[in-house]
Structure 1
């Protein structure tokens, strides 16, 4: 999968499909990272909510992933027995989540600008 191919003007459905693929890859990373069944991992947004609610949930999920990566890095720096592989996986997951959110934002901005250029 290539994130570089997003700028081809494919539209919002493609951007949301890309985000879903990245979320699925994030789930795989999370399982490799050792998230246990008892732990509460960020959940995908519930279907049926408003657009603003979906976006708020997506940003909250990205923030949670970034906080977890920061906590693991800090624990590793303190020498609390955190494995460096877990720290690196968490940082990669946070980077991918941020990049996906940024790409969705870019697609939304592009769609908004295109709508604003339309004649009434």
Structure 2
């Protein structure tokens, strides 16, 4: 007996409106994991083939993209919070809380990456030539 692939599991899920909040969060986590796995797949023919040096983004571009993604996440969480407080019936409190937590975690991760980059830069600058 083979285990179901993640894509088969996603296709067979029930309607999100009938899920409990914990099932919905688990579903989101599985979806994020599948997206990250697909992005990290480096086989030839996939979107991230590291054989070409011209296609590799610089550290500045990568940090800029990460900052923009964190900013978008924070804006989304802020708009959901505002819509919820204004009484939008399409926004539930668990959705708002999940969006705010994603925003917080992404900002903290971004801050840690920045701190590690600065630490590495300082180490390199202090190396004797």
Query: Under TM normalisation by the shorter chain, which class is it?
Result: 0.5 to 0.7
Q: Which runs of 5+ in 2 are unaligned?
A: 1-23, 32-38, 40-46, 49-55
Q: Which has the larger radius of gyration?
A: 2
Match of 1:74 among 75, 78, 82: 82
Match of 2:63 in 1: 55
Match of 1:110 in 2: 119
**Aligned-CA RMSD value:** 2.6
Whole-angstrom CA distance in 2 between matches of 1:113 and 1:49: 22
TM-score by length of structure 1 reads: 0.62
Quote the offset at 1:52 in angstroms.
1.2
Alignment length, in residue pairs?
Answer: 83
Q: Which runs of 5+ in 1 are unaligned?
A: 1-27, 36-43
TM-score by length of structure 2 reads: 0.58
**Post-superposition, which runs of at least 4 consecutive aligned residues in structure 1 deviate over 4 A?**
none
Q: Which has the higher contact order (CA 8 A, sep 6+)?
A: 1
